[in-house]
Amino acid sequence: MLTPWLKIVNALKVPVAGIYLLPVVALSIIDGLKLEQTDLLLVSKNESGLRQTFCKGLKMLVSRLTPTRDDGEQNTSLYSEEINSTRMYLDALTLTHVDDIVTVLILDQDDSLAQLPKAIARERPNMKCVRFGPAELQSHLGTTATDMANFADALHLQLLANGRPAMNLAPPTLKTRLQVHVVGKFIYAATAAIVAVGLLWATVDGVRVMRSEAEAERLVQEMRNYQRRYQEVTEHFPEAPASSQILRDSVEVAKRIDADRRTPRPLLSLLGAALTDAPNIGLGRIEWNHDRPDEIQSGPQSVDFTPNLVNGAAQYGIVSAEVRSYEGDNRAALTAIRAFIRRIASDERVAHVGVLRLPLDLDPTNGLNGSTTSIQGSASAPFQIAVVLHPETGSQ
For residues 133 and 148, what is the distance between their CA atoms, to the nearest angstrom? 11
Query: What pLDDT does residue 312 have?
Result: 62
Query: What pLDDT does residue 300 have?
Result: 57
- Predicted TM-score (pTM) of this structure: 0.44
Query: What pLDDT does residue 12 have?
Result: 85
Q: Give bridge partners of residue 171 from the DSSP assignment.
A: none
Question: Given the DSSP bridges, would you call strands 40-46 and 102-107 parallel, antiparallel or unpaired?
Answer: parallel
Query: What pLDDT does residue 220 have?
Result: 92
- Closest to 312 in 3D by CA, of 296, 329, 295, 293: 293
The backbone torsions φ and ψ at residue 54, rounded to the nearest 5 degrees and listed phi first, read: -100, 125
Query: Could you read off the pLDDT tens digit of each residue along the chain, which spans 396 residues?
Result: 888 888 888 888 788 888 888 888 888 777 777 777 777 888 888 888 888 999 887 788 899 998 876 655 567 888 888 888 988 898 898 888 888 888 888 888 888 888 888 888 888 888 888 888 888 888 877 778 777 777 778 888 888 888 778 788 888 777 777 777 778 888 999 999 999 999 999 999 989 999 999 999 999 999 999 988 888 887 777 776 777 788 788 888 888 777 667 788 888 998 999 999 888 888 889 988 877 766 555 555 556 666 666 666 778 888 999 998 777 788 888 888 999 999 998 998 888 888 888 886 555 544 444 444 444 445 678 999 888 888 777 655
Q: Angle at the Cα of 131 (from 126 to 137), degrees rounded to 5?
A: 155
DSSP state at residue 375: P
Domains, the chain, ordered by start: 21-163 (3.30.420.40), 265-361+378-389 (3.30.70)
Query: What pLDDT does residue 374 have?
Result: 40
Query: What pLDDT does residue 74 have?
Result: 65
